[in-house]
Each structure stands twice: as structure tokens, then as C-alpha cells.
A = this chain, B = another copy of it.
Amino acid sequence: MALVEEQPEKHCWVCFATERDDCSAEWVSPCRCKGCTKWIHQSCLQRWLDEKQKGNSGGAVSCPQCGTEYHITFPKMGPVVYFLQQIDKALSRASPFAAVGVVVGTVYWSAVTYGAVTVMQVVGHKKGLYAMERADPLFLLMGLPTIPVVLVLGKMIRWEDYIVRLWQKCYYRGSTRYLPHVPGDGGAGDHLSVSRTLCGALIFPSIASMVGRLLFRRMPSNLQRTILGGIAFVLIKGVLKVYFKQQQYIIQANRHILNYPETNGDEQSQGGEEDAEDSGNE
């Protein structure tokens, strides 16, 4: 207290100007920093804050050196502006939920439409339209979207894989050699399998109707014809799939890794062959 320190000249740590450069500029010491980073121009700090906050004018900003949070005062807000701000905030908060609602609504409406188209495809155009017009609207709005859901769930039951695994167990029972796993669908990641399941499930009624018209032409009822067509398609496809997976498995189980062709004196013939190939490629 007794020792009066001489105040060093202020200089701004943003623009490096001193008090002598601009007498009218407003100075502020917003944090615990001492020495050369104690003082800053009010306007330089404002510009620096804008860059830090990047449009989010309400966010807290601290001194990068001492970590003190800057204390910022704003002019008082009028009631109208406050009201508008609350509305703006509420809309911003609600908009993600509304967007999710739009997406869900889109999917739901497409599922309803798909269900209606499927009903008309399976029981016949006129009959389906007549049945849906007479049905309870609530029942339709609940029932129609379940059609694609049930189709996708049904497609997810991989009974062919189960049969292949059963066959594998019986066939290779007691075998001592190493057996590979049953190869999966396509084998190139999950998103491929998801899109195959989805598309396969959605196109199934069309295929069932087509197969029904091809194989069971004499059936009088559209519904019976499509159901029989669907069953026939599932069985034929299942048998082919089981056969294909079995063959894939047998090929996989009987693969053989070859010796690397040696180029020294031990196996002169193999080495010679490779040399000949190499010179042929050159």
C-alpha cells in the first residue's frame, strides 16, 4: 500500500495499439490476467467474442489464458422482443420433433398405400376396393400398414439357413477335419442384407401373384391363386437356396491351399515353370 507502483502503459493484445495511438478508444480489463495481456480495447474484444461465439450470441466465453469467464451486460429487452424470442426458441426446440413426425408420417402413409395396393393385388382389384370401402376406417389405418411390416418380419425368418445347418450337422457328424462356417447371404456387410430383405419382402406379393397366375391358372379365386403362388415360390426358392448353400459349403470345405512354388534346387521343375511364365509376361 505504501509502495505506489507506476502503472505501465496500456496496450491492446488484439490490435497491439497503445493508449497514445487512440486516445478516445474504450479500454477494458475483463479477466484476472496481469501484465501485457491485462488490457484490451472494448471494440477489439467485441470482435473477438463474435468470432468465438459464431452466431450463438448467448454462449459463455472465457479468457484463453486465465480461464476467467467474461461478464457481459446486455441492454434490457422489451416485452415484445422477449415474447418473440420465446416463440423463436420454442419453434427451434419443436422443429426436430416435427421433422421426425414428417418422416414417420411419410413412411406410415407409404405403408398404408402399399398395404392397400397389396390387398387389391391379392384378392383382385374390384373385390379389394369393395372390401376396403366397407371396412372400418380405423381398422384400415391400423391394419394396412401392418402388411409390409409382417412381410418384412416374415422375410427375416431364415429357415433355409436352419435346414443347411441341420444338414451340415448330420452329414459331417464325427468328422475330425476342420469345417468352415456356413457362408452368409452375399457376405458383404449388413446394409446389403437389410436392403435385400426389405426389397425382397416388398416385391413378394407381386411375385406370388405372378407365380399363382402362371402355375395355378385353373383356380377360380384370386386369393387362393395368389396364396398358392406365394407358397410355391417360397418352396422353390427355399429348395434352390438350400441346394446352393450346401454346394457353397462343400466347395468351401474342399478348398485346398497350395505350396508356394520353390525356386531352389529342391523343386527345379516348378521353379522353371514360374521362370518361363515370368519371361513370357515381360
Which A residues are within 8 Å of any B CB, using their own CB?
A: 1, 28-32, 42-47, 49-50, 55-57, 68, 70-75, 77-78, 80-81, 84-85, 88-89, 91-92, 95-96, 98-99, 102, 105-107, 109-110, 113, 177-178, 180-181, 183-188, 191-192, 194-196, 198-199, 202, 240, 243-244, 247-248, 250-252, 254-260, 265
Instruction: A191 to B255: give the CA distance in the assembly, Å.
Output: 52
Contact for A196 among B77, B92, B199, B243, CB less than 8 A: B92
Instruction: A246 to B116: give the CA distance in the assembly, Å.
Output: 52
Instruction: A172 to B76: give the CA distance in the assembly, Å.
Output: 21
Is the Cβ of A81 less than 8 Å from the Cβ of B247?
yes
Contacting residues, chain B, for A177 (C-beta < 8 A) = 43
Is the Cβ of A56 less than 8 Å from the Cβ of B188?
yes
Nearest-CB distance from A95 to chain B (Å)? Answer: 4
Contact for A257 among B72, B178, B248, CB less than 8 A: B72
Instruction: A258 to B125: give the CA distance in the assembly, Å.
Output: 76
Is the Cβ of B110 less than 8 Å from the Cβ of A105?
yes
